[in-house]
Homo-oligomer: A and B are copies of this chain.
Amino acid sequence: MAARREPSRPSAEPESAATAVRLDGVKVSFVIRGAAVFDAVAPTSFEVREGEFVSIVGPTGCGKSTLLNVTAGLLKPSAGHVEIFGERLAGLNRKSGYLFQQDALMPWKTALDNVAIALEVHGTPRKEALEAARGWMGRVGLARFCERYAHELSGGQRKRVGLAQVLIRRPRILLMDEPFGPLDAQTRQIMGNLLLGLWAEDRKAVMFVTHDLEEAIALSDRVVIMSAGPDARVIGDHPIDLARPRDAAEIRLDPKFHALHKRIWDQLREEVAKTYEEGAR
């Protein structure tokens, strides 16, 4: 996390903050068992600036997780490249934390250990790490479930442990793939506020995938809409100019919120209908 020095690109962009993530013509094609090629994502470029909270929405299967995987450095794009804080990404993106769409807890560690390990890995002494982890388990509402193994937790509980695991490290870039999917509406809001509070503290760059458009609008600075795949593209990029700080629940009552929601929703609906038709063909 040393300060980046790269003469060719000024570290402060015109828009006040440096670019945290830049996808440059990233295209992803999957080779299906050595035969057919499936072009999941068409060449796509976009940026997330430092301190920016960007949501990505799009119909199911359009390539949202794929884009996060590329940004995380887990998947090599077939064309184009990724820059992280101006540096070209080769290998893993070590500056980011990634909350996966699937369960990714280590089944052989208790919930608490799963959270604590994220700190231990970076040299925090075990005792301290456990202390911090216990705090985080409380914050995600699971203080009583510290000693459970993954298979002894409900779906929503597992997701929240994953959330604590990612947040405890305070990475500079947050990649979150449907983090609140298996949570009830109220818990979602509580978690949303938790995330917002944290984000406000040190202004991470966030890429947030969700299916809940209201959630996307309530939390983000920008909502990016992707078209249906294959060959998915970014087809909309809506800045959300709602005032900060926000409360994830109350902001929904704002009339501006509704206008934004309607505008984005109309665009989205069209896209989804398209996927469905394509798929059924």
Contact = CB atoms under 8 A, between A and B. Distances in A.
Interface of A: 30, 32, 57-61, 65, 101-103, 138-139, 141-145, 147-148, 152-157, 160, 178, 181-188, 190, 211-213, 268-269, 272-273, 275-276, 278-281
22 contacts: A32-B148, A59-B187, A60-B154, A60-B155, A60-B156, A60-B157, A60-B183, A61-B153, A61-B154, A65-B155, A102-B103, A138-B280, A141-B275, A143-B280, A143-B281, A144-B279, A145-B279, A155-B178, A178-B182, A184-B211, A184-B268, A188-B211
Given A32-B148, A184-B211, A187-B275, 15 more contacts: A58-B184, A59-B186, A60-B156, A60-B183, A60-B184, A65-B154, A101-B155, A138-B279, A144-B278, A178-B182, A185-B211, A185-B268, A186-B269, A187-B276, A188-B211
Nearest to A64: B154
A157 B61 contact: yes
Question: What's the number of copies of this chain in the assembled complex?
Answer: 2
Nearest to A270: B186
A209 to B, nearest CB: 10
A99 to B, nearest CB: 13
A279 B184 contact: no
A148 B33 CA distance: 9
Q: Which of the listed residues A65, A103, A186, A269 has the most CB atoms from chain B within 10 Å of its own CB?
A: A186
